[in-house]
Chains A and B, each alone.
Chain A
Amino acid sequence: MSDHTWGVLSNQAITAAGVVYFLALLCALVEWSAWLSRAKAAVAAKELVPAGRGHSVQTPRESERVETNTVESSADGDRVDLDTPPPSGSGGSISEVTEYRAALFGRLSLMLTAIAVVCHLAALIARGMAADPNRVPWGNMYEFTISGSFVVAAAYVVLYRRLKLAWMAPWVLGFTVVVLMLAVVALYEPVAPLTEALNSYWLVIHVIAAIIATGGFTLGGIASLAYLLKNRFPDAALLARVPELAALDRVSYRIHAFAFPVWTFGVLISGPIWAHEAWGSYWNWDPKEVWAFITWVVYAGYLHARATAGWKGKKAAIVALIGLATLWFNFIGINYFSSTSQHSYAAPAAPAVVELTISEGASR
């Protein structure tokens, strides 16, 4: 196949992936709406029977209270699976059809997502094959964006069962669809060869780590965002599909705990090694590096916050979202606003401008 064919294939695969993600999103929304009607029924039932132990009464506002709560429930001997639907009260009458519909569309959504992820991967590979010589598909913002959103979607599918991420479907899919659309509409660039400095296996390692961590942090950020919403609106029927605060906190932590070492490796080990090979010093206080460092420090702050009394729960979730904001700012903002960055993948490399003064020496 010619390079051109590969390029066309890549574009078609991205379009296909986008469409299938969108269908998956629709299915997820159908499932979500089933939950919505169930939650509304539960609320109605609760109003009918004010003395009943409605779900929302139990919902704690802070994770600390969740722990005591779990203690009580296990003391009672009944373990509450945090991902099971909220108890619908005494009179929650949901038709079996709704129940069935939710399960069906949930499974359909997952299946479609998996198909879309495969298309997405094919698009990335084709993109790399389209370049001469063949290369990793992250030569510019477009490629980095489609790679990053791939990691978000793929991580969601991979962790679906382990972390019980079914509730996340509309969030992840909505995010992926929007980002892919932006990438295609606003960032698309034709395939071009990598500049010389980017042609290094350390860079490949560095960028793989950066992309995986970015995807992970994004997924973790979604969980933190859900935590904050659920914490603020414990009774919202719209959030009925979202698990309990304690479960959200744990899911968020586990994803962040995975992404943080990957980020550490990418930004503080492989990045500097590559920078040393390419620029001659391992840390240059280049804006991109500075923001990578800021992100790292903020996420370190998140891990600390989770272990600090008075910070765990809500404040920790806020810190995680600040971390995510710095991460995205680094990717988007620095490329557009900073001209001193040596990270040249957003724009053609600036010529080396040398200042040479007639008065010699190390006076500067």
Chain B
Amino acid sequence: MSTPTTDKGPSGQEKQDVRRPGELNVRELARWGWRQLTSMRTALILLLLLALAAVPGSLVPQDGVDSLKADQWRAAHTTLTPIYERLGLFNVYSAPWFAAIYLLLMVSLVGCIIPRCLVYARAMRAQPPATPAKLTRLPDSATYVTDEEPEEVLAAARKELRGYRIRKDGGSDDSVSAEKGYLREAGNLVFHMSLIIVLVAFAFGSLFGYKGGVIVLVGEEYGFANELSQYDDFKPGSLFTPEDLDDFSFKIDDFKAEWLTTGPGAGTARGFESNLRYTAGASDEKKYDLKVNHPLTVGGTDIFLLAHGYAPVITVRDGEGNVAYSGPTIFLPQSQNLLSFGVVKAPYASPEQIGFQGLLYPFQGTVDGEPVNLMGDIGDGSNAMLSLQGFRGDLNLDAGPQSVYALDTSKAHMMSPDETGKAFNLRLGETAELPDGLGSVSFDDVQQWNRVQISKSPGKEWALLGVSLALVGLLGSLFIRPRRVWVRARRVDGRTLVEVAALDRSGGGDTASVVTGLVENLRGARTQEEKDV
């Protein structure tokens, strides 16, 4: 909390009890612990600890953020990995020690807020404090002497202090005690309570939500229905159940990208648009144009367009003339101009298994005899080229699950089209014979795909409400100045001595100007009257 609290250590009270050490009983110990936990200093230290604890998560790849990268890191650092694994460094934000810090912080927050709410409720009803005996001892004060009656000065002061709450009895008859800026503490309380709303909403979202991704081919024959088995990758919250999946399905009718042909971004695309047809539950089919920054929301689920690419239609025939593999094959972009990498596996080819891996050049040109990709726009495909390395033998599929984007060549042999070239280079519509009568591979067509992210984060509205409230509270607590002002006027040696003092309890205010302003106004009023007379 950001207004001063008394930070008495335990020693203040405990020292007075004359007791032998070790006699602190459980209740006292608990109270002592609670006071420590809810003290300002603890909150401060916990905050700094939280900041420190968040650091490793940004330096070590996180499973929950980029599992691929985390796995690569594990493979590259075999000694550190077990230690990191033990410390939870691949999952910092759900690690017990991280949770311990923010839970303590939350408890400390609650323990701090509740008593302060009560104090605040009482303060709201209370009168401004009585005027201190020695106003001139206050940090900002001023005195002047006038010929007005004390009552006149005090009446003028009451008028000047509009917007202040003024103590009814004045404390004593010779002074005015005024206070304003009560909303500062309210803002402070709202800010801190809103943080709890945010934390709870965030936790709710991470526990019950999910985030998944899927690559969907463009075209009538393909599509997506919202079932677990359809996702390529799926990250559920720990309390997520498949029943939470909203019931919808969609197809991508068409996909367009706008290709830049000039300037520094030439060859790359902007302005992506995916024309969807979707049905939600039992309702009719609807259309939606999915764009970047323009997601589709169905029920509580959000659907985003993340990436796009090409899927060459490849057919592999085996040595017996049977189709061993056929279909659009998703190639993953390696660069902004959509030079893409992909893999073909034909495990049932006979007499031997056949595999390919290689690159798709959407628009191939030649520089120094080497093929290069000039741009991502494949156009009519007349400049597209598929360059595949072939493998025969055992694709090692028995060894366990494999990525469809990687070929295990450890037990296979490379096969080349002839003695000179290493790769099978195919133009759209071409077919290449494999050596030794093993069959053929052809590049029949090109289709497009979209990578779509589908996610549900329940409670996000609450989180937004929470941060917005927090901001409003924060503004109040930073910019409303809690201020007490006193004016005392009394007869001294036949004239009236006026003392003015102000106190800003937030420590940021400029009370000096308040005092001078008030004094000027009070004296100015008098001068005015004198002129009138």
Contact = CB atoms under 8 A, between A and B. Distances in A.
Contact of B334 (A77, A260, A290, A351): A351
B54 A290 contact: yes
B202 interface: yes
A197 B292 contact: yes
Nearest to A311: B44
Contacts of A269: 464, 467-468, 471
A257 B480 CA distance: 12
Interface in A123-149: 132
A326 B93 CA distance: 19
A200 B334 CA distance: 26
Contacts of B401: 357-359
A281 B229 contact: no
A74 B137 CA distance: 8
Contacts of B333: 351-352
6 contacts: A70-B140, A273-B464, A281-B457, A282-B460, A285-B62, A301-B51
Given A261-B471, A300-B47, A356-B232, A281 B68 contact: no
B261 interface: no
A294 B474 contact: no
Nearest to B40: A308
A285 B44 contact: no
Contact of B512 (A79, A282, A285, A294): A79
A226 interface: no
Given A351-B333, A364-B233, A297 B306 contact: no
B369 interface: no
B132 interface: no
Contact of A285 (B65, B263, B307): B65
B272 interface: yes
A352 B1 CA distance: 43
Contacts of A171: none
> A-B pairs with the 8 shortest C-beta distances?
A352-B307, A287-B58, A351-B333, A280-B304, A359-B401, A290-B58, A297-B51, A192-B264
Given A70-B140, A71-B138, 4 more contacts: A67-B139, A200-B293, A311-B41, A340-B65
B41 A285 contact: no
A286 B463 contact: no
Contacts of A257: 478-479, 508
B13 to A, nearest CB: 17
A178 B260 CA distance: 36
Given A190-B264, A307-B2, A278 B293 contact: yes
Contacts of A254: 508
B55 interface: yes
A134 to B, nearest CB: 14
B380 interface: no
A196 interface: yes
A307 to B, nearest CB: 5
Interface of B: 1-7, 40-41, 43-44, 47-48, 50-51, 54-55, 57-59, 61-62, 64-69, 93, 136-141, 143, 202, 209, 211, 213, 215, 228-229, 231-236, 242, 260, 263-265, 269-272, 292-295, 302, 304, 306-307, 332-336, 401-405, 451, 453-455, 457, 460, 463-464, 467-468, 470-471, 474-475, 478-479, 507-508, 510, 512
Interface in A313-364: 319, 326, 334, 338-340, 348-349, 351-362, 364
A294 B54 contact: yes
A132 B265 CA distance: 11
B265 A264 contact: no
B478 A260 contact: yes
A309 B7 contact: yes
A79 B64 CA distance: 59
A196 B233 CA distance: 24
A301 B231 contact: no
With a 10 A CB-CB cut-off, give which of B265, B457, B468, B507 has the most chain A CB atoms: B507
B200 to A, nearest CB: 14
Given A260-B474, A307-B1, A279 B233 contact: no
B521 to A, nearest CB: 18
B307 A351 contact: yes
Given A199-B293, A260-B474, A351-B333, A193 B2 contact: no
A308 B7 contact: yes
Contact of B61 (A301, A340, A355): A340
A300 B141 CA distance: 32
A304 B471 contact: no
Interface residues of A, number: 81
A304 B40 contact: yes
A303 interface: yes
A199 to B, nearest CB: 7
B336 A348 contact: yes
Contacts of B137: 71, 75
A74 B416 CA distance: 94
A265 B139 contact: no
A261 B478 contact: yes
B455 A362 contact: no
B229 A360 contact: yes
Contact of B295 (A253, A280, A284, A297): A280
A90 interface: no
B211 A280 contact: yes
B47 A196 contact: no
A40 interface: no
A195 interface: yes
Contact of B139 (A71, A340, A357): A71
Interface in A257-297: 257, 260-261, 264-265, 268-269, 272-273, 276-287, 290-291, 293-294, 297
Contacts of B242: 362
Nearest to A349: B336
A334 B354 CA distance: 43
Given A298-B48, A308-B40, A334-B58, A284 B65 contact: yes
Nearest to A79: B512
Contacts of A65: none
Given A74-B140, A196-B272, A278 B471 contact: no
A277 B211 contact: no
A70 B502 CA distance: 13
A230 B453 CA distance: 54
Nearest to B105: A297
A250 interface: yes
Contact of B270 (A195, A273, A355): A195
A282 B61 CA distance: 19
A92 to B, nearest CB: 26
Contacts of A334: 58
Contacts of B55: 290, 294
A196 B141 contact: no
A351 B335 contact: yes
A303 B512 contact: no
Given A297-B51, A307-B3, A307-B507, A281 B455 contact: yes
A303 B2 contact: yes
Contacts of A77: 143
A276 B5 CA distance: 39
A310 interface: yes
A305 interface: yes
Contacts of B54: 290, 293-294, 297
Contacts of B470: 264, 268
Contacts of B1: 304, 307
A306 interface: yes
B47 A301 contact: yes
Contact of B302 (A197, A202, A280, A285): A280
Given A310-B7, A352-B451, A362 B139 contact: no
Nearest to B7: A309
Contacts of A286: 65
B47 A283 contact: no
Contacts of A290: 54-55, 57-58
Contacts of B47: 297-298, 300-301, 304
